[in-house]
Amino acid sequence: MRAFALVSCLVAVLLVGGCSSESGPKSYRVSGEAKFDGKPIPYGEVLFTPDGAAGNSGPQGIATVQDGKYDTAAEGGKGVAGGPTVVRVTGLDKPGGKLLCEFEYKVDLPRADSKHDTQDPGPKGAPPKNKKAGPEI
């Protein structure tokens, strides 16, 4: 009877140990600068959502912006899936404060730890200078 109890305990420990390994999709660390109108965003968040329209899936990532910088590895952050991603930036003047900006854009992030500075849409949400707003007529 004792041998049976010992074997049962050993089997239970092995089964539990096998269940503790990490599973699920891989996520990556992204850090960088967050600016609006060329100025660092005092406080806010950067949200990274896999672009399903481009065939990407995986975990959604998030990072808090403080003094114009963010890092998904910081407290409260969560890594990103990489690949085609919709980035949404929300900027506030202080925690719980006035909304300064909110913009989003699409980018293809590497499937590796990386740096990515947010793409400031420019004054009053104008498209970046290197992109055309529409076809020339």
In a domain, 66, yes or no: yes
pTM: 0.73
Interior angle at CA 101, CA 96 and CA 102, nearest 5:
95
Phi (first) and psi of residue 125, to 5 degrees:
75, 15
Q: What CATH number should be reported for the domain holding residue 74?
A: 2.60.40
In a domain, 130, yes or no: no
pLDDT tens across 84-119, in order? 999 999 999 999 999 999 999 999 999 999 999 998
pLDDT tens across 17-51, in order? 444 445 667 899 999 999 999 999 999 999 999 99
120 falls in which pLDDT band (50, 70, 90)?
Answer: confident
In a domain, 135, yes or no: no
In a domain, 48, yes or no: yes
In a domain, 136, yes or no: no
